[in-house]
Amino acid sequence: DTAVSQTPKYLVTQMGNDKSIKCEQNLGHDTMYWYKQDSKKFLKIMFSYNNKELIINETVPNRFSPKSPDKAHLNLHINSLELGDSAVYFCASSFTQGVTEAFFGQGTRLTVV
């Protein structure tokens, strides 16, 4: 009965490859997010969607493209992976934008070699 689930949990890939991370929430929330956590544990928002509509798009390289087929799903596709993309990526959802509890997925540890 996982509230926010993302797959895969681990992803090891070579530079230049394209990869996707999938996220699904069964909480009925309208808002979903992608966060990046770097090696120093810093959590930074990348994207936010509200009811399938892109709301926040931080200064993220355009190699990163989120897609929300419906409000329960938010996937992240990354093109031409670089070494600096190595991090843990967390999907999250909340009832409303920014001012209610965010429920996080278990994270995807991406390692680019």
Tell how far CA 68 is from the center of its chain: 11
Yes or no: say if 54 and 45 are a contact pair by the CB < 8 Å rule.
no
State the nearest-atom distance from the C-beta of 27 to other proteins, in Å: 13
42 lies in the binding site for other proteins (CB under 8 A): yes
Comparing CB distances to other proteins, the nearer of 97 and 111 is: 97
Among 25, 48, 68, 93, binds other proteins (CB under 8 A): 48
HSE-up (13 A, CA, CB side) for residue 35: 18
Distance separating alpha carbons of residues 88 and 32, to the nearest angstrom: 17
Among 19-27, 67-75, 78-86, 99-107, the segment contacting other proteins (CB under 8 A): 99-107
